[in-house]
Structures are given as structure tokens and as C-alpha cells.
Amino acid sequence: MDLRGFDDHPPDPDANDFLSRLTLTRVDRDIFTGWCHSGSPLRAFGGQVAAQALVAAGSTVDDDLRRVHSLHAYFLRAGRTTDHIVYMVDRPRDGRSFSTRRVRAVQYGKTIFTMSVSFALPQTGPEHGREQAPAWFDAIPSPMESEPVDVLKHIPMRDQAESEDLTEAGYPLHQLLEVRHIESKVVRSISDGFVDQMNWIRSQPLPDDPLTHVCALTYLSDLTLVRTVLDHHNRADERADLQVASIDHAMWFHAPLRSDEWLLFANRSPIAGDGRGFATGGFYTLTGMPVASVAQEVLVRDHPV
């Protein structure tokens, strides 16, 4: 399904289908609605809100040759999972080479999220680094040599080796996404401290539409950055005494990609303090080609007394 097309009826928020998590209902030229699942109890998952906002923005760009190259977003309020979210798109500019869109996500009359997105036509110019894998890339374990993990407990995750219902590509049926974690001691030894955490990640099989894949990657990009910050303090699974939430999120897309094929997501958190932590990440194909970069600042502070 091309995400530029929309149903007349809201998607089933409980559908066991990754694409349904990106699908919106168009209610006017630049207004859309969608549903989000939880990332923490009663709080909409930020990666899905960002992905749906990008779906809304992309649906208003009529030129199919213009591709997303960057987005910058702020999480302003916690989104609710019990009702739909309204996405309102503004069109500041459609130039000869670039198009800019701004999106507001609204619930109950309050803006919970904003995003600015830039689309560009293909250009020619100097290039470097596009085909160059990191020096440590050849030493990392393959996806099948890495440990399956459940990064969101409400998303069903199953070990491929234990599944009897496989697609022709060997992908387990009814699995929305798959994450395989590389051991921290391996990451430290091969990256010389430049990377804190590495995960192989891919979504359920998706259509060929390029917009679908950048929206899916936006969803996937919010799965491990907070954990990367907390891991520095051995508190990845101990959040009861902390307030933890994404504050802002930025992405840059460097090359065409497929989110339903294995991508290495390498994360680093170089600094935290004053109640905030900063994390960055890079996505690489199986051959080590860099395809996207991400940066996020997260709220990570003690609960007020």
C-alpha cells in the first residue's frame, strides 16, 4: 500500500500489521487522523507519532521524485492511546528543488508534537562517505549471530529459529518488527568506545514505496536511544525513580533504504546532565553503507519531591 493513499475508515489500531501503524485517515486536504499504541503505560509511543506525522507531511508533496532528506521534531505533551491524534499540515514552501512542511499533532485541542520536514529532488554534487563502511563494521556479528530482544513488550517478538510459520524470505509471520542485540562487551571491543550499543533491526515486509520506508525507519529510530542514555547509569530497566521521555528528535536520510531489510542501528550517548541526556545513532545496511543518522535529547531526571 502506498502511504499517499488513504482509507475512508480509520485503521484498526490493534491490527497485527506494521503498515497499519503508519496508515492515516484523510479528513481534509491537509488534515489527517491516526491512532497510536503505547510506548509506556497510557503514553503514545513517540516513534509512531513521529512516523505518522511524516506520513501526513509526505502525503501533501505531489512530486513523487521529492524525497525526505531531514526532519526535526519536538515532543511537547504525552499523547493518549485512547483516542485518535489529529495531524495538521502547513505548506510553507514548494521551491524548484526543495519542499518544506510543518506538522502539528493535536489531541483534545492541545498540540502534543511538532515536526518540520524537508523534501528534495535528486541532485548532483561532490560525494564522500556514501559507500564507506565504518572501520569496525566487518568485525560485528551478523543478525543471526545476535540475540533477539523485545524492545517494546506489547509488540509480539518471536525468535525466528523457533517459529514454524515463515514467509518465503524466512521472516516469521505475524511479527511486526525484529530486533537483535549485539553484546555490549563485543560493541566496546570493536568500536573503541565510539559506539555504546548496536542492534540489528528490521520491520515486517513492506511495499516498495520509498515514503513508506522512511516513515517506518522513523518509527524504528525511537526504539533504543533512551536505553542508550540509561545504560550509562545501569538503569535501563529501572525507571520507577526517574522521569524519562523524549524531548526532541532529528533525522537525516542519506541514501535510499528499505526498513524491512536488516539495518544495523549503532547508538552512542556522549553526554547527560541537568536532567537531560543526548544520544545519536547511525543506520547501516548489511554491507556497511550508511543510510540515515539520528539525534535525540531525552528527559532523564529524578522525580520532583
142 included as an active-site residue: no
As a three-state string, the secondary structure of the chain is CCCCCCECCCCCCCCCCHHHHCCCEEEECCEEEECCCEEECCEECHHHHHHHHHHHHHHCCCCCCCEEEEEEEEECCCCCCCCCEEEEEEEEEECCCEEEEEEEEEECCEEEEEEEEEEECCCCCCCCCCCCCCCCHHHCCCHHHCEEECCCCCCCCCCHHHCCCECCCCCECCCCEEEEEECHHHHHHHHCCCCCEEEEEEECCCCCCHHHHHHHHHHHCCCCHHHHHHHCCCCCCCCCCEEEEEEEEEEEECCCCCCCCCEEEEEEEEEEECCEEEEEEEEECCCCCEEEEEEEEEEEEECCC
Question: How far is Cα 253 from Cα 292, in angstroms, rounded to an integer?
Answer: 4
Q: Other CB atoms closer than 10 Å to residue 150's CB: what's the count?
A: 11
- The active-site residue, picked from 107, 246, 259, 269, is 246
94 included as an active-site residue: no
Backbone angles phi, psi at 195, to 5 degrees: -125, 135
Question: How far is Cα 198 from Cα 266, in angstroms, rounded to an integer?
Answer: 4
- The active-site residue, picked from 107, 146, 221, 222, is 222
296 included as an active-site residue: yes
Task: Return the active site residues.
Answer: 222, 246, 296
